[in-house]
Structure 1
Amino acid sequence: MADGPASFWTQANALLRKNLTFQKRNLRTNIRLIAFPVVLCLLLVMLQAVVNSLLKDNDCGCQCVERTANGKCAKEECGLQYSTADQAGSCSFPNPPEWPPLLQVPAPQYRAVSTDFYSSVDLPNESCRKSGSCPVTFLFTGNNHSFADSLVGSMIPNSFSLNSSDILESLADDVLGSASWPGYVNYQETAFSPEYPLYYVQSKCPANSSLSIAISVGSTEEQKGLNLWRNSSSEINDELYKGYRKGNAEKKINEIVAAFDFLNSNQNNFNVTIWYNSTYKNDTGNQPLSLLRIPRSVNMASSAFLQYLMGPTTKMLFEFVKEMPKPETRVRLDFASLLGGLFYTWVILQLFPVILKSVVYEKQQNLRIMMKMHGLGDGPYLMISYAYFLLISAVYMICFVVFGSLIGLKFFTLNDYSIQAVFYFIYINLQISVAFLAAAFFSNVKTATVVGYILVFGSGLLGGFLFQPFVEDESFPRNWLIVMELYPGFSLYRGLYEFSQYAFQGDYMGDHGMRWKDLSDSTNGMKEILIIMLAEWIVVLLVALYVDQVLSPGSGITKSPLFFLKTFKKKTSSFQNPSLGRQESKVFVEMDKEDVAQEREKVEQLLLEPNTSHAIVCDNLKKVYPGKDGNPEKFAVKGLSLALPRGECFGMLGPNGAGKTSFISMMIGLTKPTSGIAFVEGLDIRTQMDRIYTSMGVCPQHDLLWETLTGREHLLFYGRLKNLKGPALTQAVEESLKSVNLFNGGVGDKQAGKYSGGMKRRLSVAISLIGDPKVVYMDEPSTGLDPASRNNLWNVVKHAKQNRAIILTTHSMEEAEVLCDRLGIFVDGSFQCIGNPKELKGRYGGSYVFTMTTSASNEEDVVNLVKNLSPSANKIYQISGTLKFELPKNEVRIADVFHAVENAKSRFTVQAWGLADTTLEDVFIRVARGAQAFNVLP
């Protein structure tokens, strides 16, 4: 027997044990859950291996310089001289070469000409493209036309000169260009590859001129530079826009080398804006930006202004461009980090539908309210459920990070593990809080699961293709970025994106990834993400707890939206304040039968007493469901009054839809009464339901069980909720299993999902009785049982009703007679009669049932026989020679019936006959029909 209600920690311990057992039984599900990130990590490793094999071709070039007699390489040399342009970046460069600064010159077929969509009259005709003689074009404008003209005239030399003793210095005075695609580094200039010509630009090209440069590997060509004035920068913008690469057709590509706006420049002020062609800037994905050939354009304008001020002999020479020295490096491309933002988002978000499904499942199956009805408070439930999901999430993330690190994914190994731990810890807490909040708005597991996985894949895809471009766009407002990060999916994606960027750069540069000091970097969004997620975690968790109490139907009767304001309000029982006992007038008193009226008066008297031995007292309890779709209100329970002492089993009989379930639902805390009051062990069901649960047992109409837990584990869990411990708990479980025939043959240790319907029903009865509850509600407990199991169950209930009150609903009249000390026939929301079975049969069964079977030709003789016995007899059945009559007891004697039948046998054939007293079933039918007929009267 339990020693008082279970404490907070006892309840928490019971739920934790049950959850861990449940988790152990779902081992396959857990393996599948862990397998997803493991498989993904292995896939990334295999893709990384493929990428690495492809990148080997970009390693610094090598060549065998000495071979053995059998042809094997004895000596190999590597370096820039053996490398292609693609391989040059990985070679050792203790002294990087110096390259002449170049202009990005359009290829001949793309140079600006006058066309139908590009109608500038000062451009050459399109025919020059066929001969390859189209000049390269520069556009310029400014506030002072003449001043700009003087500068532009000095920007491009009129002749080309080359000093073979110092090539770079002599080339610094000339303008060279290339149409080759610029590289990412300048260890080897792609313009000097054999497949590309090198152009030198002059303001005019003398006839039959030619050029030979010693450092050039490819051919060289003279190109005329065409300087064209435009009246405003808007005209330049218009021409540049029209000349942008709009398609593959050559006539739709009109490239300008550069454009200069000298603005308000004069001899005292130099202010210039330069347009350049960013088409050659490769910034796709995570590739480093190409080195645009812009410095020469800046030098041309600056040198021209200097010559204007100091004279033509003064020049600002631009001799060369040069990379920083570096050791030999292998080309690295961390594929796992490139895809980290998207794929790792899916991995971590996969936990969200798992948690959401679990919470909604307990609500849909009424398992949470079942636990609550057996004493589990909201506090232990929410705390243990949260801690349980936090433990699962933490184990999942640890396995993910450890496995990713063991197989060498740079995403994990390069970034500081402490930053990762803080980030993942805060996010999984936020994710659990969001799942708890979202669960309040779902009542179906399938719907919740589908929506959960839509959010998983949708968040990843939106993060990769919508959110990431905004992160990388420096012009996008930062405040709007923060607003977008308020969505937890984008917060997760941003954090993973930052990890992947630092891991990729660290691997590429041979350095480490993110460190704590990097969080102060203006381009690092991790700091703001941690702050946003931490704040959201606290806010969402508080909102989820609030919504759970005022909105979620899975937790029983919901509370008032301002329930937290009533925390310190003193709660009193109506037994202690008799003036509160009768809250409203009794509309139905005049319509009550005598026994129902007596029950009502008994309740009124009990409410005036300071103490009572009655376990249940209901006073004028009503339940009205509001009308919907134009239908009137539904009065499910109409002023029910009932007093039930300890040690009594009260049976509620009634047709379907009479209101029995609505009454039970109010008593067990599923719904709140519309009006009236009820007390269980002196506690008000309206305000003290949490205390009532600790002394209550419930056997619901439908079995509420965990499919993967055994019968013994169910009883251990509910026994702990009733504060049973140690040997007392073990003994109670053993006795419960034996009492319902679930002990022998190891049946109690089988999972409930493998039980038959009858076995589940017996387990539900055992659950309702474990822990010695003071009040038990049983809703059709013997449904689906075979006769032997039903009789055994009746014995259990008979034994259990000692010193406790039981309310039992049933459709079995035999069960009602065997188990119930008193019965109440409940029709259309109210009691029609109350009493023990004998009283009801005596009160409503004032007739005998006479049955006789004869041939069809003698049916009239049977009717005459009965009329002679009882003139008021009522024929209730007739078919194929079998007739049944009701004979009022006050008109006949049993001896007269026997005598009349004996005489009748001599006159016609009597095949069978019988005389029976009224059964409880007859009483039920008569009362129900009478009440329904009365209720339909206008």
Structure 2
Amino acid sequence: MVLRSGFPLLFQQYKALLRKNLLISWRSKRASFIQLFASFFFIVLIFFIQEGIEARNKKSADFRSVRDPKPLVSPPIPPCERKYSVEKPCFDFVWSGNGSARISSIVSGIMANNPGRPIRPSKNGIYKWLVSTFFLWFILAIYFDNIIPNVSGVRKSVFYFLNPGYWTGKGGNKLKEGGICRCIGSAPPKEHLTPDDEDVLEEENLVKQQTKEGTVDPNIAVQIRGLVKTYPGTFSIGCCKCRRTKPYHAVKGLWVNFARDQLFCLLGPNGAGKTTAINCLTGITPFTGGDALIYGDSARSSVGMANIRKIIGFCPQFDILWNALSGQEHLHLFASIKGLPSASVKSDAEKLLAEVRLTEAAKVRAGSYSGGMKRRLSFAVALIGDPKLIILDEPTTGMDPITRRHVWDVIEGAKRGRAIVLTTHSMEEADILGDRIGIMAKGRLRCIGTSIRLKSRFGTGFIANVSFSGSTNEQRPPSRDAVATSHHEAVKEFFKCHLGVEPKEENREFLTFVIPHDREGLLTNFFAELQNKDREFGIADIQLGLTTLEEVFLNIAGQAELEAAMAEGRLVTLTLASGASVQIPVGARFVGIPGSESAEHPSGVMVEVFWQQDDSGALCISGHSPETPIPPNVEITPSRTDSFSQGRSRRQSRPVQGIVINPDQISTRHSRSNF
């Protein structure tokens, strides 16, 4: 699709924004009336005050006794203007025409006292000077608006107008920003950390190699080259004390490629750096370090960013809509701003409204939309103009399941011919839509790959669900309950003998087992033998699958939280089944209980802590496993200074710090799903 540019685009944008403002003003008549006629009210008020003063003066005759001043021969009245400056004290002639004989006589006397200074009927020089200063201040306003940082810190270089690309729109792939005062508001750079994950390291090395060679794969739509975003610390002086905050490193070096015709899903808990990275790509937030090439244009260059905005569609995390405008008017407005030809604006808007199922509500004001309808409208705005890159920041938040599934189909169909970047908190959404998935935590990319690869690498293993025949919620005789119990025990014993696993979840209808990855080679023969005994065990159905993506996400987020909590000393309280309390770092999976050593368990006992995300996206404790012996192969390195008195007595009022155990030291037969 060919978009407009130059003065035709500027005129179309001006007309669209003017129409938008007129519509909003017309639909908010009371506020518009107050704004427009407030000035007229004060003018009328001043008029009546003046009339009152004049009416009062008419009753007085004092002004009639005022005598005309006698003409003075010397000194003459000095002129006001001297070239382009005004001399003080300043006196000048006032001409009111020939309407008053008295004033005419006064003017004649003044002119006689100042020979050689005629009274001009007009002063065109002043008008020319006013017009000239108007354009001067207008140009300076544009200049300072570009070089002074906005609320987000985005600005152009001091000599941006000397860059030929600023006027031609070419050269956006080269970073030429900088110049004087580039260091203002800067923060100390974050030292680069080598990724711990092999896939992340491989992706980083690939991007670095392509950057060094100066080549970009034509199948790559976006190449992020070491993106760093650091918010500088602050310094404030209060009452008798000074307060300084450290710089906050939101993104700590991101190296990744986003391919065309694919959807890259970026996951992470709140504060991971997802939205910050997205804001840097869209130009909302400036880079601290690194760069990003979007279809060959640099996101750090003002010229490149101007070209990028023409080919990008963005659905922000929070809706940017006008309550007084309808959904159709929103799409018409953004289509005109994007530069679509006027002939295709209406048809494209109707098509997008149909895709997001807003045709019936197209002429309804957005203020009457539900939260899900507003998200669908924001998603439609992101698709307007056929962009080459679509960035969706939690687009399906607030949608009902049916509408969400339909929007997933629209997103899936939108992959063709473009790249899509999606951030979401829905693991199901990421699993279905994501061609590649990256998980960020604490500003770093922790893992990357397809959904299957992430599950196989970071999941606890395979999930086996065994359902039993005749399992209903109806009342059954005791004899059938006894048979069902025997079937359950037989299946549990079969899994324990062949695979060494215990059920993760069980009830009367089914059993759920978590099978570690190292048992994968045994599964073929195991399930063949289990299927042969399905009648003997009363099995109705067997399902086998990988662990969920949510488990992978919580594993990665938990490990990152654990690293940060141990470095910062952040602890939460874990209440055990016995009523005792233990303080543990956020994200700790296996925790040893101090003072639990005994002759039966010489290494002590431990619990497995289960974590989940709260409404704000932070990790919180959801429960813990029963106490189990610490395996003898586990090395306990932390000191046990805060031990319980009297051996296993855990009834002290002050909680002690638990012992964090490395999950890699725990044998897989003792492990279960940690969340």
Give the alignment's TM-score, normalised by structure 2: 0.61
- Asked whether 1:573 is paired with 2:202, we answer no
Q: Residues 507 and 785 (structure 1 numbering): CA distance in 2 closer, same or farther, change over 3 Å? A: farther
| Conserved? CA contact 1:852–1:914, under 8 Å | yes
Give the residue type in structure 2 aligned to 1:641.
W
Give, in whole Å, the separation in 1 of the partners of 2:370 and 2:298.
Answer: 38
Q: 2:225 is matched with which residue?
A: 619
Q: CA deviation at 1:722?
A: 3.2
Q: 2:35 is matched with which residue?
A: 33
Q: 2:562 is matched with which residue?
A: 933
Q: Which runs of 5+ in 1 are unaligned?
A: 59-85, 87-182, 187-288, 295-473, 486-493, 576-583, 907-911
Q: Residues 36 and 829 (structure 1 numbering): CA distance in 2 closer, same or farther, change over 3 Å? A: closer
Give, in whole Å, the separation in 2 of the partners of 1:571 and 1:585.
Answer: 29
Choose from 514, 535, 552 the match for 1:923: 552
Q: 1:810 is matched with which residue?
A: 424
Q: Residues 646 and 925 (structure 1 numbering): CA distance in 2 closer, same or farther, change over 3 Å? A: same
Give, in whole Å, the separation in 1 of the partners of 2:101 and 2:494.
Answer: 109
Choose from 596, 599, 609 the match for 2:200: 596
- Normalized per residue, which structure has more strand? 2
Q: 2:409 is matched with which residue?
A: 795
Q: 1:887 is matched with which residue?
A: 515
Give, in whole Å, the separation in 1 of the partners of 2:502 and 2:86.
Answer: 82
Q: CA deviation at 1:781?
A: 0.3
| Conserved? CA contact 1:623–1:674, under 8 Å | yes
- Normalized per residue, which structure has more helix? 1
Q: CA deviation at 1:787?
A: 1.4
| Conserved? CA contact 1:617–1:678, under 8 Å | yes
- Asked whether 1:717 is paired with 2:333, we answer yes
Give the residue type in structure 1 aligned to 2:556.
V
Q: Residues 916 and 39 (structure 1 numbering): CA distance in 2 closer, same or farther, change over 3 Å? A: same
Give, in whole Å, the separation in 1 of the partners of 2:150 and 2:374.
Answer: 25
| Number of equivalences | 498
Q: CA deviation at 1:830?
A: 2.2
Give, in whole Å, the separation in 1 of the partners of 2:127 and 2:504.
Answer: 81
| Conserved? CA contact 2:16–2:336, under 8 Å | no
Correspondences of 1:98-137 after superposition (within 5 Å) = none
Correspondences of 1:311-390 after superposition (within 5 Å) = none
| Conserved? CA contact 1:6–1:721, under 8 Å | no
Give the residue type in structure 1 aligned to 2:514.
E
Correspondences of 1:432-451 after superposition (within 5 Å) = none
Q: Residues 812 and 533 (structure 1 numbering): CA distance in 2 closer, same or farther, change over 3 Å? A: same
Give, in whole Å, the separation in 2 of the partners of 1:721 and 1:53.
Answer: 56
Give, in whole Å, the separation in 2 of the partners of 1:898 and 1:18.
Answer: 68
Q: CA deviation at 1:897?
A: 7.2
- Asked whether 1:562 is paired with 2:166, we answer no
Give, in whole Å, the separation in 1 of the partners of 2:245 and 2:56.
Answer: 73
Choose from 449, 457, 479 the match for 1:835: 449
Q: 1:319 is matched with which residue?
A: none
| Conserved? CA contact 2:391–2:420, under 8 Å | yes
Q: CA deviation at 1:712?
A: 1.8
Choose from 314, 322, 326 the match for 1:698: 314
| Conserved? CA contact 1:595–1:833, under 8 Å | yes
Give the residue type in structure 2 aligned to 1:738.
A
Match of 1:663, SS state, is helix
Q: Residues 49 and 771 (structure 1 numbering): CA distance in 2 closer, same or farther, change over 3 Å? A: same
Q: 2:2 is matched with which residue?
A: 3
Give the residue type in structure 1 aligned to 2:16.
R
Give, in whole Å, the separation in 2 of the partners of 1:504 and 1:40.
Answer: 29
Give, in whole Å, the separation in 2 of the partners of 1:905 and 1:798.
Answer: 42
Give, in whole Å, the separation in 1 of the partners of 2:206 and 2:229.
Answer: 22
Q: Residues 44 and 610 (structure 1 numbering): CA distance in 2 closer, same or farther, change over 3 Å? A: closer
Correspondences of 1:349-748 after superposition (within 5 Å) = 534=131, 536-553=133-150, 557-567=154-164, 571=171, 573=173, 587-589=192-194, 591-604=195-208, 606-607=210-211, 608=213, 609=215, 612-629=218-235, 630-687=244-301, 688-744=304-360, 747-748=361-362
Give, in whole Å, the separation in 2 of the partners of 1:484 and 1:799.
Answer: 73
- Asked whether 1:16 is paired with 2:15, we answer yes
Q: CA deviation at 1:899?
A: 9.2
Q: CA deviation at 1:26?
A: 0.5
| Conserved? CA contact 1:619–1:641, under 8 Å | yes
Q: CA deviation at 1:764?
A: 0.9
Q: Residues 563 and 57 (structure 1 numbering): CA distance in 2 closer, same or farther, change over 3 Å? A: closer
Give, in whole Å, the separation in 2 of the partners of 1:642 and 1:555.
Answer: 24
Q: Residues 777 and 880 (structure 1 numbering): CA distance in 2 closer, same or farther, change over 3 Å? A: same
Give, in whole Å, the separation in 2 of the partners of 1:867 and 1:597.
Answer: 38
Q: 2:400 is matched with which residue?
A: 786
Deviations 1:750-798 (A, max 9, x none): 3323322222211111111111110111000001111122122112111
Match of 2:375, SS state, is helix
Match of 1:622, SS state, is strand
Give, in whole Å, the separation in 1 of the partners of 2:309 and 2:457.
Answer: 38
Q: Residues 52 and 623 (structure 1 numbering): CA distance in 2 closer, same or farther, change over 3 Å? A: closer
Q: Residues 894 and 879 (structure 1 numbering): CA distance in 2 closer, same or farther, change over 3 Å? A: closer
Give, in whole Å, the separation in 2 of the partners of 1:523 and 1:727.
Answer: 56
Deviations 1:385-426 (A, max 9, x none): xxxxxxxxxxxxxxxxxxxxxxxxxxxxxxxxxxxxxxxxxx
| Conserved? CA contact 2:299–2:308, under 8 Å | yes
Q: Residues 914 and 506 (structure 1 numbering): CA distance in 2 closer, same or farther, change over 3 Å? A: farther
| Conserved? CA contact 1:773–1:804, under 8 Å | yes
Give, in whole Å, the separation in 2 of the partners of 1:54 and 1:913.
Answer: 103
| Conserved? CA contact 1:866–1:873, under 8 Å | no
| Conserved? CA contact 1:617–1:643, under 8 Å | yes
Q: CA deviation at 1:828?
A: 2.0
Deviations 1:615-644 (A, max 9, x none): 111222222222335444333223222222
Q: Which runs of 5+ in 2 are unaligned?
A: 71-76, 112-116, 176-188, 236-243, 468-480, 568-675
Match of 1:886, SS state, is strand
Q: Residues 851 and 932 (structure 1 numbering): CA distance in 2 closer, same or farther, change over 3 Å? A: farther
Q: Residues 805 and 33 (structure 1 numbering): CA distance in 2 closer, same or farther, change over 3 Å? A: same
| Conserved? CA contact 1:15–1:717, under 8 Å | no
Match of 1:560, SS state, is coil
Give, in whole Å, the separation in 1 of the partners of 2:553 and 2:489.
Answer: 32
Give, in whole Å, the separation in 1 of the partners of 2:287 and 2:57.
Answer: 74
Deviations 1:242-264 (A, max 9, x none): xxxxxxxxxxxxxxxxxxxxxxx
Give the residue type in structure 1 aligned to 2:550.
E
Asked which structure has the greater CA Rg, the reply is 1
Give, in whole Å, the separation in 1 of the partners of 2:11 and 2:151.
Answer: 19
Give the residue type in structure 2 aligned to 1:18.
L
Q: Residues 660 and 44 (structure 1 numbering): CA distance in 2 closer, same or farther, change over 3 Å? A: closer
Which segment drifts farther, 680-689 or 636-645? 636-645
| Conserved? CA contact 1:774–1:803, under 8 Å | yes
Deviations 1:45-88 (A, max 9, x none): 55566567666767xxxxxxxxxxxxxxxxxxxxxxxxxxx4xx
Q: Residues 43 and 743 (structure 1 numbering): CA distance in 2 closer, same or farther, change over 3 Å? A: same
Give, in whole Å, the separation in 1 of the partners of 2:278 and 2:287.
Answer: 11
Q: Residues 52 and 594 (structure 1 numbering): CA distance in 2 closer, same or farther, change over 3 Å? A: closer
Give the alignment's TM-score, normalised by structure 1: 0.45
Q: 1:822 is matched with which residue?
A: 436
Match of 2:362, SS state, is helix
